[in-house]
C-alpha cells in the first residue's frame, strides 16, 4: 500500500477497506526513510474508538510497515521509486516499472509553483510551462501518468498555495516527459461533470498543438486500463 500523504481525503476510506478485514490477506504499508511507521500509526490512530467503532487492532488481515529506498525498491518484480512534491505538509509521487512498462502516480502536487519560466507564461499563457528537470525525468517515458489537474486557469487564481495544479500545467508536464497517456486526476469537488468535460477538452487541444499522439482523459471512479 502506497500513500502519497496522510491528509484525511487520502486515508479516511481505509476503515472501510473490506480486504483489511479478511485474515487471508497480508498488506505492507510502504513509507520512506525517516518516517518509520508514521503512516501505519496515523491509519491506526484514526480508528480509535473516539472516531470509529472498529479498532485497528481488530482488523483480521496482517498489516506491516516497510521502507522504500531512494534508488528504487523491488516489490514482487515491480521497481518502485518516489519523489517529493510541492504540497502543504508534503506529498510523494510514485513510479512503478515492470517489463518495460511504467506508471506514475503524481497527485496533490502544485506544479504551478515550480514553473521555471513563470514570468514568460504569465505574459503568454500559450507558452509551454517549463517544469523542473528532476520531476520531468521522474515521469519520463511513462505509459500512464496520473497527474494532479484540479483547477482550470480561472479557478487557480484564487487557489494559489493550496497544493494543487492547473490542468494545462499537467499537460505541459506530460509533453515534456514524453508520456503516452495522461489521466487528469483530483478533480475539484465543486466541478460539475460538464466542467470536467470542458477541462479535458481544453487539455486535449493544448496537447494537440505540440504532442498530438498524447492521449488525455479525465480519471473517474471504477475505470480500468490495460497497458499492453
List, as one string, the DSSP characters of the chain: -B-S---HHHHTTGGG-GGGG-TT-EEEEEEETTTTTHHHHHHHHTTSTTT-SS-GGG--SEEEEEEE-TT-EEETTEEEEEEEE-STT-EEEEEEEETTEEEEEE-S--GGGG-TTHHHHHH-TTS-----HHHHHHHTT-SEEEEE--B-HHHHTT-TTSS--BHHHHHHHHHHHT-SEEEEE---TT--HHHHHHHHHHHHHHHHHH-TT-EEEE--TT------
pLDDT tens-digit map of 62-72: 999 999 998 99
C-beta neighbour count of 35 within 10 angstroms: 14
Distance CA 62, CA 47 (A): 16
Distance CA 55, CA 87 (A): 30
pLDDT tens-digit map of 80-124: 999 999 999 999 999 999 999 999 999 999 999 999 999 999 999
Task: State residue 38's pLDDT score.
Answer: 87
**Average pLDDT, stretch 122-139?**
97
Task: State residue 93's pLDDT score.
Answer: 97
Task: State residue 227's pLDDT score.
Answer: 85
Q: Look up the pTM and report it.
A: 0.94
Cell, residue 35: 518516517
Please determine, for residue 218, whether its predicted confidence score (pLDDT) is greater than 90: yes
- Per the CB < 8 A criterion, the answer to whether 164 and 192 are in contact is no
More confident residue, 38 or 59: 59
Task: State residue 30's pLDDT score.
Answer: 93
For residue 35, what pLDDT band results from cuts at 50, 70 and 90?
A: confident
Catalogue all structural domains in the chain, each as residue range(s) with its CATH number.
Answer: 1-68 (no CATH), 70-228 (3.60.15.10)
C-beta neighbour count of 56 within 10 angstroms: 18
State the chain's mean pLDDT as an integer.
95
pLDDT tens-digit map of 201-217: 999 999 999 999 999 99
Q: Percent of the chain scored above 70 by pLDDT?
A: 100
Amino acid at each position: 500500500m502506497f500513500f502519497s500523504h496522510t491528509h484525511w481525503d487520502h486515508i479516511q476510506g481505509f476503515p472501510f477497506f473490506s480486504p483489511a478485514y479478511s485474515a487471508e490477506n497480508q498488506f505492507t504499508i510502504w513509507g520512506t526513510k525517516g518516517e518509520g511507521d508514521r503512516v501505519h500509526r496515523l491509519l491506526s490512530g484514526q480508528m480509535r474508538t473516539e472516531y470509529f467503532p472498529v479498532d485497528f487492532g481488530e482488523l483480521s488481515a496482517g498489516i506491516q510497515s516497510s521502507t522504500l529506498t531512494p534508488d528504487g525498491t523491488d516489490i514482487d518484480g515491480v521497481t518502485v521509486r518516489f519523489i517529493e512534491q510541492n504540497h502543504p505538509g508534503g506529498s510523494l509521487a510514485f513510479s512503478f516499472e515492470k517489463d518495460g512498462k511504467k506508471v506514475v502516480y503524481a497527485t496533490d502536487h502544485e506544479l504551478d509553483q515550480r514553473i521555471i519560466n513563470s514570468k514568460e507564461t504569465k505574459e503568454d499563457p500559450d507558452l509551454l510551462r517549463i517544469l523542473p528537470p528532476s520531476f520531468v525525468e521522474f515521469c519520463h517515458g511513462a505509459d500512464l501518468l496520473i497527474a494532479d489537474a484540479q483547477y482550470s486557469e480561472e479557478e487557480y487564481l484564487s487557489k494559489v498555495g493550496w497544493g494543487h495544479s492547473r490542468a494545462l500545467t499537467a499537460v505541459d508536464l506530460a509533453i515534456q516527459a514524453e508520456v503516452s497517456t495522461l489521466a487528469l486526476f483530483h478533480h475539484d469537488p465543486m466541478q460539475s461533470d460538464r466542467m470536467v468535460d470542458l477541462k479535458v477538452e481544453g487539455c486535449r487541444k493544448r496537447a494537440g498543438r505540440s504532442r498530438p499522439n498524447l492521449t488525455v482523459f479525465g480519471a473517474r471512479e471504477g475505470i480500468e486500463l490495460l497497458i499492453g
